Amino acid sequence: MANSRRKFNAILRIKVDDSIFDEDSVVNGAIVDYYESFYHEEHPLRPLLNGISYNSINIDDLGKEKALGPDGFNIAFF
């Protein structure tokens, strides 16, 4: 039963530009590359914080399995 579900939940091949890839490692790499390029900013727009002091959160204070906010992503994800 679980194997039949896995078959339907798998990406067996992917088309990138005009090329079709069907090897698992290449398919996985193409998906990762897509999302990395999708979320990459060439010129990020960030507010300037000149002269503003703030306390940052120490990485030791964050548990790897604790959710940071309503999105549910934990620190291990980032």
Residue 24 has, within 13 A of its CA and on its CB side, a CA count of 1
Contacts of 14 (CB under 8 A, 6+ apart): 20, 21, 27, 30, 31
pLDDT tens track of the chain, all 78 residues?
556 666 677 888 888 888 888 888 888 888 888 888 888 777 777 777 777 877 777 767 666 666 666 677 776 776
Q: Is the pTM for the entire model greater than 0.85? A: no
Domain locations in the chain? 1-41
